[in-house]
Structure 1
Amino acid sequence: MSSQRSTSTPPIRLGMVMAIRNHPDHPYPINEVYRDYLDDAVMAESELGFDRIWLNEHHLSRDQYAPSAFPILSAIAARTGSIRLGTAVSLLPFHNPLRLSEDAATVDIISNGRLDLGVGIGSAPVEYETFGTKREQAWRRTWEAADLIRQIFEQDVVDFDGEIFQYHGLTQTTRPIQEHVPFWWGGYGPKSMARAAKRGYNLIGCASEVFENTLDEIGRDRATAQIGQVTAVHIAPTFEQAWDEAQDGIHWWLNYHRENTGHPAGMTDQGPVMPGLPEAKKLRDIKDLVFVPGMPMYIGTPDAVMEGLLADVAGRNGRITELALAFRHAGMRTPEVRRSLELFRTEIMPNLR
């Protein structure tokens, strides 16, 4: 089929990624941790004018990683009026899709139609073992669950005959008020990105040539496909101050994925930092350190952070339509996060928008 490339470039969208977690080495009360993240979300709308809030999901981690995105999104919905609310991502292998569809629909109702549903497969062995999910079934279970949820959202009566899930004559009475809830795929595998493009999903994580090429192959206009780049950010008046404040949280984030998922988080152009990450205070010395290729981190002065973000928006890593920015890292306290957000608002946002 012929390619349908869009010739217009819409303004970049701005999202805030919230991985709600404590830092095990210097924790503070978990209710205060949640309060601080929720306040960040309100600020993202009221003072920053962001377009979207993204909530992560993980389970059984000693950093108390938030496992339940939908109650948190409901709390944010009750305190905001226009910002969109998304999961990045709901780990479908660990959920009953009918039950998840009810929670997601409820958030869409409470928020007056602001839900984006990001889905993925998950990667932490402890989650699979504890939930009793067979890893060899994970891909099939994930795609079946996503297809079923979409049908539940959009059809009055659902007949679904999958290998894992079967429903006949199912009528879900609690459904989203949006006619079509946007679906997003979160994952790095080229096959899954191609499948997401074919299913009409958006992409959250990083730009993907495979995703873009698949859009062209199937004749889907690229303008209909959003791509969010997840990016860690912390801004301070000096490079050293920025790293002093963020280093423990960044180090924990990278090591969390290395230890819990086996993913080589913390990479450079030469590949994963090996044999292991250095201590937190030495991360700043690693040139061009990223989470994974296409998912950068910018820790530094306003000018340095802006330079990196503008290059990404211009397509350095491929086409993106949204910067999904993580500002609060494990263990960080509110004054330094607020200052970073204020510097972003005054020094960087006008150049992005």
Structure 2
Amino acid sequence: MKFGVHFLLPCGIGQTPIARYRDALAQGQLAEELGFESVWPAEQHAIPSQSVLSCPAVFLAALAARTQTIRLGTAIVQLPLFHPLRVAEEICTLDVISGGRAELGVGRGTHPDHYAGFGASLAVSRERLEEGLDYLRKALSGQPFDFHGRHYTAEAARVVPEPVQPGGPALRLAANSVDSFRAAGRAGIPILTAIHINPPAVLAGYLDAYHSARAEAGHQTATPDDITVLTPIFTAERESEVTQFMGPAVDYYAALMRGNLTTLMRRCGDPSGVFARLLARLDQLDLNAMRTEQAVFGTPEACVKTLASLAEQLGAGRFLAWFDFVGTTPAADVERSMRLFAAEVAPRLTERLEGHCPSSVRQ
């Protein structure tokens, strides 16, 4: 079992981007000190209340200079917004800077403001995503390649610098709809998914589609390392602390997501019904509801129990812990939660799942 730390950087009232990045980089350094296996920042654009982290590779380069061993992954780069050659160049440069620690998580993204800002079309975003995946699988090796697609063409192209890792940084696809799970399965690549977007019961069905698509395409059976699950996490010694810190966080999250989804539905429609289902859940969302199936908030004992159930249900080999959930929790309390998780949750969870007592978070 592997444990990573996820970063999204919303700016709260009166908070500056300078302070937000300072705290996040400090938490990334702490993650390495505590033995976490990896860090995974997400790319967002145009909405500072949601995040000021628009360039995950730049953030990871800064963190690479402050760390030695922790792996550095993007979760995610919105691939349809950029030429895949540029994405490959950035992640391979990070691989060189970090001494071979880079991983590339990509996804489609759906927010119209993100697409409008780059003059990109949502209508062809899935085509560009799937073609971009094919392109990246050739480009990340660092060797010369040709590519002929509808959206991208290359003749004897090559990524410079060549990555440190043989074959290039590992590629993963963010999957939160059944179409994305199937696309990842057809490509035979690992996935990143999130329980705050889809509850575990829904994800289990999507994972069935992923495994079926892999088999139909002739790929090897997925292993637990192919399945990474992102979840908001807050570990506290007492239940009263969970209520104190996560109650306001959930209220803020629900209001923010409600506004974002309403905008998305107005601009893009909702042909698959995903946004409508999410809005219905948000209307009922409070701390207790979120703890039921969208987050892992609680004492160490409660967190171990919940994460063990998720790992067994979903076949996950890595959890990405979103400790600094929506930015409402003071940095000192975020770090206290990280320390408690590393000391009391990760070792016990790994022992429960793998039958031995580990010496650190990284396994």
TM-score bucket of the superposed structures, by smaller chain: 0.7 to 0.9
2:316 aligned with 1:320: yes
Specify which of 295, 298, 302 is matched with residue 296 of structure 2.
298
Specify which of 301, 309, 312 is matched with residue 311 of structure 1.
309
| Structure 1 vs Structure 2 CA RMSD | 2.3
Question: After the TM superposition, which residues 131-280 of structure 1 pair with which residues of structure 2 at under 5 Å, given as runs?
Answer: 131-154=118-141, 156-180=143-167, 181-206=169-194, 208-217=207-216, 218-223=218-223, 226-261=226-261, 272=278, 274=280, 277=283
- Measure how far apart 1:224 and its partner are: 7.8
2:20 aligned with 1:13: no
Higher helix share: 2
Equivalent AA in structure 2 for residue 179 of structure 1 = P
Q: Deviations over 1:253-299 (max 9, x none)?
A: 344344324589xxxxxx65648547xxx822437544xxxxx3022
Give the 3 Å change call, closer, same or farther, for CA 229–249 of structure 1 in structure 2. same
Percent identity between matched residues is 24
Contact in 2 for aligned 1:249/1:331 (Cα 8 Å) = yes
Contact in 2 for aligned 1:22/1:331 (Cα 8 Å) = no
- Measure how far apart 1:184 and its partner are: 0.5
Q: Deviations over 1:171-215 (max 9, x none)?
A: 333221112221101022223212212323111115512112333
Give the 3 Å change call, closer, same or farther, for CA 210–89 of structure 1 in structure 2. same
Equivalent AA in structure 2 for residue 308 of structure 1 = T
In 2, Cα distance between equivalents of 1:273 and 1:237:
32
Q: Which moved more, 1:182-191 or 1:145-154?
A: 145-154
Contact in 2 for aligned 1:243/1:299 (Cα 8 Å) = no
2:283 aligned with 1:283: no
Contact in 2 for aligned 1:243/1:300 (Cα 8 Å) = no
Contact in 2 for aligned 1:158/1:171 (Cα 8 Å) = yes
- Measure how far apart 1:86 and its partner are: 0.6
Question: After the TM superposition, which residues 102-113 of structure 1 pair with which residues of structure 2 at under 5 Å, given as runs?
Answer: 102-113=89-100
Q: Where does the alignment leave 5 or more consecutive residues of structure 2 unmatched?
A: 195-202, 266-276, 351-363
Give the 3 Å change call, closer, same or farther, for CA 277–243 of structure 1 in structure 2. farther
In 2, Cα distance between equivalents of 1:251 and 1:287:
10
Specify which of 337, 342, 349 is matched with residue 340 of structure 1.
337
In 1, Cα distance between equivalents of 2:5 and 2:295:
14
Q: Where does the alignment leave 5 or more consecutive residues of structure 1 unmatched?
A: 1-11, 265-270, 291-295
In 2, Cα distance between equivalents of 1:253 and 1:287:
11
In 1, Cα distance between equivalents of 2:82 and 2:143:
22
In 2, Cα distance between equivalents of 1:259 and 1:191:
25
In 1, Cα distance between equivalents of 2:131 and 2:57:
21
2:131 aligned with 1:128: no
In 2, Cα distance between equivalents of 1:193 and 1:274:
23
In 2, Cα distance between equivalents of 1:325 and 1:249:
15
In 2, Cα distance between equivalents of 1:254 and 1:158:
46
- Measure how far apart 1:67 and its partner are: 0.5
Q: TM-score, normalised by structure 2?
A: 0.82
Equivalent AA in structure 1 for residue 79 of structure 2 = L
In 2, Cα distance between equivalents of 1:116 and 1:349:
22
- Measure how far apart 1:157 and its partner are: 2.3
Could you say what secondary structure the match of 1:116 adopts? strand
In 1, Cα distance between equivalents of 2:160 and 2:282:
51
In 2, Cα distance between equivalents of 1:257 and 1:344:
27
Equivalent AA in structure 1 for residue 305 of structure 2 = E
Specify which of 71, 74, 79 is matched with residue 66 of structure 2.
79
Give the 3 Å change call, closer, same or farther, for CA 297–27 of structure 1 in structure 2. farther
The total of aligned residue pairs comes to 323
Contact in 1 for aligned 2:10/2:48 (Cα 8 Å) = no
Q: TM-score, normalised by structure 1?
A: 0.84
Tell me what 1:44 maps to.
Answer: 31
Specify which of 42, 48, 64 is matched with residue 62 of structure 1.
48
Could you say what secondary structure the match of 1:172 adopts? coil
Tell me what 1:5 maps to.
Answer: none
Specify which of 11, 36, 44 is matched with residue 22 of structure 1.
11
In 1, Cα distance between equivalents of 2:282 and 2:98:
43
In 2, Cα distance between equivalents of 1:56 and 1:35:
16
Contact in 1 for aligned 2:171/2:189 (Cα 8 Å) = yes
Equivalent AA in structure 2 for residue 145 of structure 1 = G
Contact in 2 for aligned 1:53/1:85 (Cα 8 Å) = yes
- Measure how far apart 1:16 and its partner are: 0.7
